[in-house]
Structure 1
Amino acid sequence: MIVHFLNLDILLGILGGGIYSSVALGTPLPFSWWFVVPGATWCLYTADRLIDTRRSNNGYPTLRHQFHSRYRKSLTFGVVAVGAASAIVGVFTLPWESLFVAALVSILFGLHHVFQRMIGSRWLGAIKDVNVALAYIVAVWSVPLILADGIPTIAIGAITAHITMVAATIVLESLPDKVIDESLDQPSIARLLGEAGTRWFLFISIVTLVLCTWLLRTTMLWPVSLAWVACILSLPLVLRSQLSMPYKRLLIELTLALPIAIKL
Protein backbone atom coordinates (compact mmCIF):
# COMPACT_ATOMS: atom_id res chain seq x y z
CA MET A 1 0.00 0.00 0.00
CA ILE A 2 2.88 2.38 0.77
CA VAL A 3 3.98 1.99 -2.86
CA HIS A 4 0.75 3.68 -3.94
CA PHE A 5 0.73 6.34 -1.22
CA LEU A 6 4.29 7.39 -2.17
CA ASN A 7 3.36 7.41 -5.88
CA LEU A 8 6.00 4.77 -6.58
CA ASP A 9 3.51 2.99 -8.84
CA ILE A 10 3.67 6.08 -11.07
CA LEU A 11 7.45 5.81 -11.10
CA LEU A 12 7.30 2.12 -12.08
CA GLY A 13 4.87 2.97 -14.86
CA ILE A 14 7.28 5.56 -16.28
CA LEU A 15 10.13 3.04 -16.15
CA GLY A 16 7.94 0.56 -18.02
CA GLY A 17 7.07 3.26 -20.52
CA GLY A 18 10.75 3.99 -21.07
CA ILE A 19 11.44 0.36 -21.92
CA TYR A 20 8.36 0.25 -24.16
CA SER A 21 9.22 3.43 -26.09
CA SER A 22 12.88 2.45 -26.46
CA VAL A 23 11.93 -0.91 -27.98
CA ALA A 24 9.22 0.63 -30.18
CA LEU A 25 11.56 3.21 -31.71
CA GLY A 26 14.73 1.14 -31.56
CA THR A 27 16.41 3.99 -29.69
CA PRO A 28 18.55 3.35 -26.59
CA LEU A 29 17.80 5.94 -23.93
CA PRO A 30 20.56 7.92 -22.17
CA PHE A 31 21.52 6.43 -18.83
CA SER A 32 20.45 9.63 -17.07
CA TRP A 33 16.91 9.30 -18.48
CA TRP A 34 16.20 6.50 -16.02
CA PHE A 35 16.68 8.93 -13.13
CA VAL A 36 15.65 12.30 -14.54
CA VAL A 37 12.31 11.46 -16.17
CA PRO A 38 10.89 9.12 -13.49
CA GLY A 39 12.11 11.52 -10.80
CA ALA A 40 10.61 14.59 -12.46
CA THR A 41 7.32 12.80 -13.11
CA TRP A 42 7.15 11.66 -9.49
CA CYS A 43 7.70 15.26 -8.38
CA LEU A 44 4.95 16.55 -10.67
CA TYR A 45 2.41 13.99 -9.48
CA THR A 46 3.32 14.35 -5.80
CA ALA A 47 3.24 18.16 -5.95
CA ASP A 48 -0.14 18.04 -7.66
CA ARG A 49 -1.54 15.80 -4.92
CA LEU A 50 -0.07 17.98 -2.19
CA ILE A 51 -1.85 20.98 -3.72
CA ASP A 52 -5.10 19.00 -3.89
CA THR A 53 -4.71 18.08 -0.22
CA ARG A 54 -4.13 21.68 0.80
CA ARG A 55 -7.13 22.85 -1.21
CA SER A 56 -9.41 20.22 0.29
CA ASN A 57 -8.43 21.14 3.87
CA ASN A 58 -8.39 17.45 4.79
CA GLY A 59 -12.04 17.21 3.82
CA TYR A 60 -11.50 14.74 1.01
CA PRO A 61 -12.02 11.29 2.56
CA THR A 62 -9.43 9.17 0.77
CA LEU A 63 -6.49 7.43 2.40
CA ARG A 64 -4.15 8.87 -0.22
CA HIS A 65 -5.14 12.46 0.60
CA GLN A 66 -4.87 11.74 4.32
CA PHE A 67 -1.36 10.32 3.80
CA HIS A 68 -0.23 13.37 1.83
CA SER A 69 -1.70 15.65 4.47
CA ARG A 70 -0.03 13.81 7.35
CA TYR A 71 3.41 13.72 5.72
CA ARG A 72 3.14 17.01 3.84
CA LYS A 73 6.47 18.43 5.06
CA SER A 74 8.46 15.27 4.30
CA LEU A 75 6.89 14.89 0.86
CA THR A 76 7.46 18.57 0.08
CA PHE A 77 11.13 18.18 1.00
CA GLY A 78 11.31 15.10 -1.23
CA VAL A 79 9.77 16.98 -4.15
CA VAL A 80 12.24 19.85 -3.78
CA ALA A 81 15.27 17.56 -3.42
CA VAL A 82 14.40 15.11 -6.20
CA GLY A 83 13.14 17.91 -8.44
CA ALA A 84 16.36 19.89 -8.07
CA ALA A 85 18.53 16.83 -8.70
CA SER A 86 16.47 15.83 -11.74
CA ALA A 87 16.66 19.35 -13.16
CA ILE A 88 20.43 19.62 -12.71
CA VAL A 89 21.17 16.20 -14.21
CA GLY A 90 18.66 16.76 -17.01
CA VAL A 91 20.12 20.11 -18.05
CA PHE A 92 23.57 18.59 -18.53
CA THR A 93 22.64 15.22 -20.04
CA LEU A 94 19.34 15.33 -21.96
CA PRO A 95 18.52 17.02 -25.30
CA TRP A 96 17.56 20.66 -24.84
CA GLU A 97 14.31 20.05 -26.73
CA SER A 98 13.14 17.67 -24.01
CA LEU A 99 13.82 20.29 -21.33
CA PHE A 100 11.71 22.78 -23.27
CA VAL A 101 8.85 20.29 -23.48
CA ALA A 102 9.14 19.50 -19.76
CA ALA A 103 8.96 23.20 -18.94
CA LEU A 104 5.80 23.59 -21.04
CA VAL A 105 4.11 20.68 -19.27
CA SER A 106 5.03 22.11 -15.85
CA ILE A 107 3.68 25.52 -16.86
CA LEU A 108 0.47 23.86 -18.05
CA PHE A 109 -0.02 22.24 -14.65
CA GLY A 110 0.76 25.51 -12.90
CA LEU A 111 -1.68 27.51 -15.04
CA HIS A 112 -4.37 24.94 -14.38
CA HIS A 113 -4.09 25.41 -10.61
CA VAL A 114 -3.95 29.22 -10.98
CA PHE A 115 -7.08 29.32 -13.15
CA GLN A 116 -8.91 26.90 -10.87
CA ARG A 117 -8.11 29.14 -7.91
CA MET A 118 -9.07 32.36 -9.73
CA ILE A 119 -12.20 31.16 -11.52
CA GLY A 120 -13.37 28.88 -8.75
CA SER A 121 -15.13 26.45 -11.07
CA ARG A 122 -14.98 22.92 -9.69
CA TRP A 123 -15.52 21.47 -13.14
CA LEU A 124 -12.32 23.11 -14.34
CA GLY A 125 -10.64 20.49 -12.18
CA ALA A 126 -11.80 17.76 -14.54
CA ILE A 127 -9.38 19.14 -17.12
CA LYS A 128 -6.60 18.04 -14.78
CA ASP A 129 -7.14 14.43 -15.81
CA VAL A 130 -6.34 15.47 -19.38
CA ASN A 131 -3.22 17.27 -18.15
CA VAL A 132 -2.17 14.17 -16.22
CA ALA A 133 -2.48 12.00 -19.32
CA LEU A 134 -0.57 14.55 -21.40
CA ALA A 135 2.24 14.80 -18.83
CA TYR A 136 2.56 11.02 -18.63
CA ILE A 137 2.70 10.59 -22.41
CA VAL A 138 5.19 13.44 -22.86
CA ALA A 139 7.41 12.01 -20.10
CA VAL A 140 7.57 8.63 -21.81
CA TRP A 141 7.84 9.63 -25.47
CA SER A 142 9.52 13.04 -25.75
CA VAL A 143 13.18 11.98 -25.41
CA PRO A 144 12.86 8.74 -27.46
CA LEU A 145 11.14 10.66 -30.28
CA ILE A 146 13.77 13.41 -30.20
CA LEU A 147 16.62 10.89 -30.36
CA ALA A 148 15.03 8.61 -32.98
CA ASP A 149 16.29 8.87 -36.57
CA GLY A 150 12.72 8.45 -37.76
CA ILE A 151 9.39 7.03 -36.72
CA PRO A 152 8.85 3.51 -38.13
CA THR A 153 5.31 2.75 -39.22
CA ILE A 154 5.14 0.00 -36.64
CA ALA A 155 5.95 2.53 -33.91
CA ILE A 156 2.72 4.40 -34.63
CA GLY A 157 0.81 1.34 -33.43
CA ALA A 158 2.96 1.18 -30.29
CA ILE A 159 2.45 4.86 -29.52
CA THR A 160 -1.31 4.56 -30.08
CA ALA A 161 -1.50 1.53 -27.80
CA HIS A 162 0.36 3.29 -25.00
CA ILE A 163 -1.70 6.48 -25.25
CA THR A 164 -4.88 4.40 -25.21
CA MET A 165 -3.83 2.52 -22.08
CA VAL A 166 -2.78 5.71 -20.27
CA ALA A 167 -6.20 7.23 -20.98
CA ALA A 168 -7.96 4.02 -19.93
CA THR A 169 -6.13 3.89 -16.59
CA ILE A 170 -7.16 7.46 -15.80
CA VAL A 171 -10.81 6.64 -16.52
CA LEU A 172 -10.63 3.40 -14.53
CA GLU A 173 -9.02 5.17 -11.57
CA SER A 174 -11.80 7.74 -11.46
CA LEU A 175 -14.55 5.10 -11.27
CA PRO A 176 -14.08 4.05 -7.61
CA ASP A 177 -14.30 7.67 -6.42
CA LYS A 178 -17.39 8.55 -8.46
CA VAL A 179 -19.77 8.32 -5.49
CA ILE A 180 -17.43 10.35 -3.26
CA ASP A 181 -16.89 12.92 -6.01
CA GLU A 182 -20.64 13.31 -6.45
CA SER A 183 -21.25 13.76 -2.72
CA LEU A 184 -18.52 16.44 -2.54
CA ASP A 185 -19.30 17.89 -5.97
CA GLN A 186 -15.74 17.16 -7.07
CA PRO A 187 -15.01 17.02 -10.82
CA SER A 188 -13.83 13.82 -12.47
CA ILE A 189 -13.71 12.13 -15.84
CA ALA A 190 -16.08 9.41 -14.61
CA ARG A 191 -18.70 12.04 -13.73
CA LEU A 192 -18.28 13.78 -17.08
CA LEU A 193 -18.57 10.59 -19.10
CA GLY A 194 -21.32 9.00 -17.04
CA GLU A 195 -21.87 5.25 -16.91
CA ALA A 196 -22.78 4.89 -20.59
CA GLY A 197 -19.93 7.13 -21.72
CA THR A 198 -17.45 5.22 -19.60
CA ARG A 199 -18.56 1.87 -21.05
CA TRP A 200 -18.21 3.21 -24.58
CA PHE A 201 -14.79 4.68 -23.82
CA LEU A 202 -13.50 1.38 -22.46
CA PHE A 203 -15.02 -0.52 -25.40
CA ILE A 204 -13.28 1.80 -27.89
CA SER A 205 -10.04 1.39 -25.91
CA ILE A 206 -10.29 -2.40 -26.19
CA VAL A 207 -10.95 -2.27 -29.94
CA THR A 208 -8.02 0.13 -30.42
CA LEU A 209 -5.66 -2.09 -28.44
CA VAL A 210 -6.74 -5.19 -30.35
CA LEU A 211 -5.94 -3.42 -33.64
CA CYS A 212 -2.60 -2.24 -32.23
CA THR A 213 -1.80 -5.79 -31.12
CA TRP A 214 -2.33 -6.96 -34.69
CA LEU A 215 -0.06 -4.17 -35.99
CA LEU A 216 2.61 -5.15 -33.46
CA ARG A 217 2.34 -8.90 -34.13
CA THR A 218 5.85 -9.07 -35.62
CA THR A 219 7.48 -7.25 -32.69
CA MET A 220 8.22 -8.15 -29.08
CA LEU A 221 5.64 -5.58 -27.97
CA TRP A 222 2.49 -7.46 -28.98
CA PRO A 223 2.27 -9.40 -25.67
CA VAL A 224 2.22 -6.08 -23.80
CA SER A 225 -0.60 -4.73 -25.95
CA LEU A 226 -2.55 -7.96 -25.57
CA ALA A 227 -2.00 -7.89 -21.80
CA TRP A 228 -3.42 -4.36 -21.72
CA VAL A 229 -6.56 -5.64 -23.44
CA ALA A 230 -6.90 -8.26 -20.70
CA CYS A 231 -6.37 -5.57 -18.06
CA ILE A 232 -9.16 -3.35 -19.35
CA LEU A 233 -11.47 -6.37 -19.47
CA SER A 234 -10.62 -7.54 -15.95
CA LEU A 235 -10.01 -4.36 -13.96
CA PRO A 236 -13.72 -3.37 -13.77
CA LEU A 237 -14.23 -6.68 -11.95
CA VAL A 238 -11.36 -5.83 -9.61
CA LEU A 239 -13.01 -2.48 -8.87
CA ARG A 240 -16.15 -4.32 -7.75
CA SER A 241 -14.16 -6.65 -5.48
CA GLN A 242 -13.63 -6.33 -1.72
CA LEU A 243 -10.03 -5.14 -2.10
CA SER A 244 -9.27 -1.87 -0.36
CA MET A 245 -9.19 1.19 -2.60
CA PRO A 246 -5.40 1.75 -2.47
CA TYR A 247 -4.78 -1.79 -3.72
CA LYS A 248 -7.27 -1.30 -6.55
CA ARG A 249 -5.51 1.90 -7.61
CA LEU A 250 -2.14 0.21 -7.31
CA LEU A 251 -3.21 -2.59 -9.66
CA ILE A 252 -4.50 -0.07 -12.20
CA GLU A 253 -1.30 1.99 -12.13
CA LEU A 254 0.93 -1.07 -12.39
CA THR A 255 -0.62 -2.05 -15.73
CA LEU A 256 1.58 0.66 -17.26
CA ALA A 257 4.64 -1.04 -15.75
CA LEU A 258 3.98 -4.29 -17.65
CA PRO A 259 6.65 -3.53 -20.32
CA ILE A 260 9.26 -4.10 -17.59
CA ALA A 261 8.57 -7.80 -18.17
CA ILE A 262 10.24 -7.41 -21.59
CA LYS A 263 13.59 -7.02 -19.84
CA LEU A 264 13.09 -9.86 -17.39
Structure 2
Amino acid sequence: MARTFVLTHGAWHGAWCWQRVTPALRAAGHEVVVPTLTGLGHRAHLTHPMVGLDTHVRDVASVLEYEDLHDVVLVGHSYAGMVVVGAAAAVPERIGALVVVDGFVPQRGERAVDLLPSHAAAHYRESAEEKGDGWRVPPRPLQNLGVTDEEAAAWLRPRLVDHPFKTYTDTADFGASELSVEGTYLACDGWNTPFGWAAERAAGLGWQVESLDADHEVIATSPDLLVDALLRVATERHVTA
Protein backbone atom coordinates (compact mmCIF):
# COMPACT_ATOMS: atom_id res chain seq x y z
CA MET A 1 0.00 0.00 0.00
CA ALA A 2 1.32 3.41 -0.93
CA ARG A 3 1.95 5.71 2.04
CA THR A 4 2.94 9.33 2.45
CA PHE A 5 6.20 9.91 4.31
CA VAL A 6 6.79 13.27 5.97
CA LEU A 7 10.52 13.49 6.70
CA THR A 8 11.57 16.02 9.34
CA HIS A 9 15.22 16.99 9.67
CA GLY A 10 17.14 17.65 12.86
CA ALA A 11 19.19 20.56 14.18
CA TRP A 12 21.46 22.45 11.74
CA HIS A 13 20.04 20.58 8.73
CA GLY A 14 17.26 21.27 6.23
CA ALA A 15 15.05 19.38 3.81
CA TRP A 16 18.11 18.96 1.60
CA CYS A 17 19.57 16.34 3.98
CA TRP A 18 17.02 13.70 2.86
CA GLN A 19 18.20 13.75 -0.77
CA ARG A 20 19.82 10.31 -0.40
CA VAL A 21 16.65 8.82 1.10
CA THR A 22 13.73 10.24 -0.88
CA PRO A 23 14.46 8.68 -4.31
CA ALA A 24 14.25 5.11 -2.98
CA LEU A 25 11.02 5.80 -1.08
CA ARG A 26 9.44 7.28 -4.21
CA ALA A 27 10.74 4.42 -6.34
CA ALA A 28 8.92 2.05 -3.99
CA GLY A 29 5.67 3.85 -4.83
CA HIS A 30 5.34 6.16 -1.84
CA GLU A 31 4.72 9.90 -1.67
CA VAL A 32 7.35 11.94 0.17
CA VAL A 33 6.93 15.40 1.70
CA VAL A 34 10.01 17.09 3.17
CA PRO A 35 9.42 20.28 5.17
CA THR A 36 12.18 22.66 6.20
CA LEU A 37 11.92 24.02 9.72
CA THR A 38 11.92 27.79 10.28
CA GLY A 39 15.42 29.25 10.45
CA LEU A 40 17.17 26.27 8.86
CA GLY A 41 18.11 25.05 5.40
CA HIS A 42 16.69 27.26 2.66
CA ARG A 43 14.69 29.08 5.37
CA ALA A 44 17.83 30.08 7.30
CA HIS A 45 17.16 33.73 6.48
CA LEU A 46 14.03 33.55 8.67
CA THR A 47 15.89 32.71 11.86
CA HIS A 48 15.55 34.96 14.92
CA PRO A 49 15.89 34.59 18.69
CA MET A 50 12.22 33.73 19.23
CA VAL A 51 12.15 30.68 16.94
CA GLY A 52 11.24 27.97 19.42
CA LEU A 53 10.02 24.41 19.68
CA ASP A 54 6.41 25.45 19.12
CA THR A 55 7.47 27.21 15.90
CA HIS A 56 8.84 23.96 14.55
CA VAL A 57 5.90 21.89 15.75
CA ARG A 58 3.59 24.29 13.92
CA ASP A 59 5.80 24.11 10.81
CA VAL A 60 5.16 20.37 10.55
CA ALA A 61 1.55 20.35 11.72
CA SER A 62 0.75 23.10 9.20
CA VAL A 63 2.22 21.10 6.34
CA LEU A 64 0.00 18.18 7.30
CA GLU A 65 -3.05 20.44 7.50
CA TYR A 66 -2.57 22.64 4.44
CA GLU A 67 -1.44 19.77 2.22
CA ASP A 68 -4.41 17.79 3.62
CA LEU A 69 -2.28 14.74 4.38
CA HIS A 70 -3.68 11.69 6.14
CA ASP A 71 -2.32 8.37 7.42
CA VAL A 72 1.22 9.71 7.08
CA VAL A 73 4.39 8.06 8.27
CA LEU A 74 5.83 10.98 10.22
CA VAL A 75 9.60 10.70 10.63
CA GLY A 76 11.86 12.83 12.82
CA HIS A 77 15.65 12.62 12.96
CA SER A 78 17.61 13.62 16.08
CA TYR A 79 16.28 16.94 17.50
CA ALA A 80 13.18 16.49 15.36
CA GLY A 81 12.01 13.77 17.72
CA MET A 82 10.83 16.71 19.83
CA VAL A 83 9.07 18.17 16.81
CA VAL A 84 7.29 15.10 15.45
CA VAL A 85 5.99 14.02 18.85
CA GLY A 86 4.54 17.52 19.18
CA ALA A 87 3.05 17.45 15.70
CA ALA A 88 1.54 14.02 16.32
CA ALA A 89 -0.08 15.41 19.47
CA ALA A 90 -1.38 18.47 17.58
CA VAL A 91 -2.96 16.63 14.63
CA PRO A 92 -3.26 12.97 15.67
CA GLU A 93 -5.98 12.26 13.13
CA ARG A 94 -3.47 12.77 10.31
CA ILE A 95 -0.77 10.39 11.59
CA GLY A 96 -0.63 6.73 10.62
CA ALA A 97 2.76 5.90 12.12
CA LEU A 98 5.47 7.80 13.96
CA VAL A 99 9.21 7.17 13.58
CA VAL A 100 12.03 8.72 15.57
CA VAL A 101 15.52 8.16 14.14
CA ASP A 102 18.26 8.31 16.80
CA GLY A 103 16.64 11.24 18.57
CA PHE A 104 14.52 12.59 21.38
CA VAL A 105 11.38 10.94 22.72
CA PRO A 106 10.07 13.65 25.06
CA GLN A 107 7.52 13.60 27.82
CA ARG A 108 5.41 16.58 28.82
CA GLY A 109 7.42 19.31 30.55
CA GLU A 110 10.85 18.13 29.39
CA ARG A 111 13.42 20.26 27.58
CA ALA A 112 15.74 18.91 24.94
CA VAL A 113 18.76 20.55 26.55
CA ASP A 114 18.08 18.64 29.78
CA LEU A 115 17.84 15.36 27.90
CA LEU A 116 21.36 15.74 26.50
CA PRO A 117 24.42 14.45 28.35
CA SER A 118 25.62 17.20 30.69
CA HIS A 119 28.85 17.79 28.76
CA ALA A 120 26.96 18.21 25.47
CA ALA A 121 24.43 20.57 27.05
CA ALA A 122 27.29 22.66 28.44
CA HIS A 123 28.91 22.77 25.01
CA TYR A 124 25.64 23.95 23.42
CA ARG A 125 25.32 26.75 25.96
CA GLU A 126 28.95 27.81 25.63
CA SER A 127 28.79 27.74 21.83
CA ALA A 128 25.64 29.86 21.82
CA GLU A 129 27.19 32.43 24.15
CA GLU A 130 30.61 32.58 22.50
CA LYS A 131 29.74 32.15 18.81
CA GLY A 132 25.98 32.56 18.44
CA ASP A 133 25.11 35.88 20.07
CA GLY A 134 23.54 33.97 22.93
CA TRP A 135 20.75 32.38 20.89
CA ARG A 136 22.26 30.35 18.03
CA VAL A 137 24.13 27.05 18.34
CA PRO A 138 26.75 26.50 15.63
CA PRO A 139 26.83 23.05 13.98
CA ARG A 140 28.45 20.26 15.94
CA PRO A 141 31.61 18.78 14.39
CA LEU A 142 30.55 15.78 12.32
CA GLN A 143 33.18 13.59 13.92
CA ASN A 144 31.34 14.14 17.21
CA LEU A 145 28.33 12.50 15.56
CA GLY A 146 30.31 9.41 14.61
CA VAL A 147 30.84 10.35 10.96
CA THR A 148 33.96 8.79 9.44
CA ASP A 149 32.80 8.85 5.81
CA GLU A 150 34.63 11.89 4.45
CA GLU A 151 32.59 11.99 1.25
CA ALA A 152 29.38 12.24 3.25
CA ALA A 153 30.96 14.78 5.60
CA ALA A 154 32.05 16.93 2.67
CA TRP A 155 28.47 16.87 1.37
CA LEU A 156 26.92 17.70 4.74
CA ARG A 157 29.32 20.26 6.17
CA PRO A 158 28.79 23.30 3.90
CA ARG A 159 24.99 23.03 4.16
CA LEU A 160 24.74 23.05 7.95
CA VAL A 161 23.66 26.30 9.62
CA ASP A 162 23.34 27.61 13.16
CA HIS A 163 20.33 26.31 15.09
CA PRO A 164 18.04 28.49 17.25
CA PHE A 165 18.83 27.51 20.84
CA LYS A 166 15.35 28.38 22.16
CA THR A 167 14.10 25.16 20.56
CA TYR A 168 16.29 23.27 23.05
CA THR A 169 15.28 25.29 26.11
CA ASP A 170 11.52 25.35 25.52
CA THR A 171 9.52 22.80 27.48
CA ALA A 172 7.40 20.27 25.64
CA ASP A 173 3.69 20.73 26.17
CA PHE A 174 3.09 17.17 24.99
CA GLY A 175 4.42 13.72 25.82
CA ALA A 176 5.15 10.57 23.85
CA SER A 177 3.15 8.54 26.38
CA GLU A 178 0.06 10.61 25.54
CA LEU A 179 0.01 9.62 21.86
CA SER A 180 -2.35 7.02 20.44
CA VAL A 181 -0.36 6.50 17.26
CA GLU A 182 2.00 3.54 16.93
CA GLY A 183 5.66 4.44 17.28
CA THR A 184 8.92 3.06 15.97
CA TYR A 185 12.36 3.99 17.25
CA LEU A 186 15.40 3.49 15.01
CA ALA A 187 18.54 3.49 17.14
CA CYS A 188 21.84 4.17 15.39
CA ASP A 189 24.23 1.92 17.27
CA GLY A 190 27.30 2.44 15.09
CA TRP A 191 28.52 5.33 17.22
CA ASN A 192 28.52 6.44 20.86
CA THR A 193 24.91 7.58 20.74
CA PRO A 194 23.63 9.71 23.63
CA PHE A 195 20.08 8.53 22.91
CA GLY A 196 20.16 5.13 24.59
CA TRP A 197 17.68 6.44 27.14
CA ALA A 198 15.29 7.35 24.31
CA ALA A 199 15.35 3.83 22.86
CA GLU A 200 14.65 2.44 26.34
CA ARG A 201 11.78 4.89 26.83
CA ALA A 202 10.33 4.01 23.44
CA ALA A 203 10.47 0.31 24.27
CA GLY A 204 8.75 0.99 27.57
CA LEU A 205 5.95 2.75 25.70
CA GLY A 206 5.44 -0.30 23.52
CA TRP A 207 7.11 1.16 20.45
CA GLN A 208 8.94 -1.11 18.06
CA VAL A 209 12.67 -0.54 18.53
CA GLU A 210 15.17 -1.46 15.84
CA SER A 211 18.95 -1.04 15.79
CA LEU A 212 20.80 0.24 12.74
CA ASP A 213 24.55 -0.24 12.35
CA ALA A 214 25.10 3.39 11.45
CA ASP A 215 26.36 6.69 12.83
CA HIS A 216 24.07 9.58 13.73
CA GLU A 217 24.10 10.96 10.18
CA VAL A 218 22.52 7.75 8.82
CA ILE A 219 20.52 9.91 6.40
CA ALA A 220 23.76 10.60 4.51
CA THR A 221 26.15 7.80 5.45
CA SER A 222 23.86 4.74 5.40
CA PRO A 223 20.70 5.80 3.55
CA ASP A 224 19.97 2.28 2.29
CA LEU A 225 19.73 0.98 5.86
CA LEU A 226 17.36 3.78 6.76
CA VAL A 227 15.21 3.31 3.66
CA ASP A 228 14.84 -0.41 4.35
CA ALA A 229 13.72 0.32 7.92
CA LEU A 230 11.25 2.98 6.80
CA LEU A 231 9.76 0.69 4.18
CA ARG A 232 9.18 -1.92 6.88
CA VAL A 233 7.36 0.69 8.94
CA ALA A 234 5.19 1.62 5.96
CA THR A 235 4.17 -2.00 5.60
CA GLU A 236 3.72 -2.94 9.25
CA ARG A 237 2.58 0.14 11.18
CA HIS A 238 -0.85 1.70 10.96
CA VAL A 239 -3.36 3.81 12.86
CA THR A 240 -4.50 2.32 16.17
CA ALA A 241 -8.00 3.73 16.12
Q: Normalising by structure 2, report the TM-score.
A: 0.34
Higher RCO (C-alpha under 8 Å, 6+ residues apart): 1
The structure richer in strand per residue is 2
The structure richer in helix per residue is 1
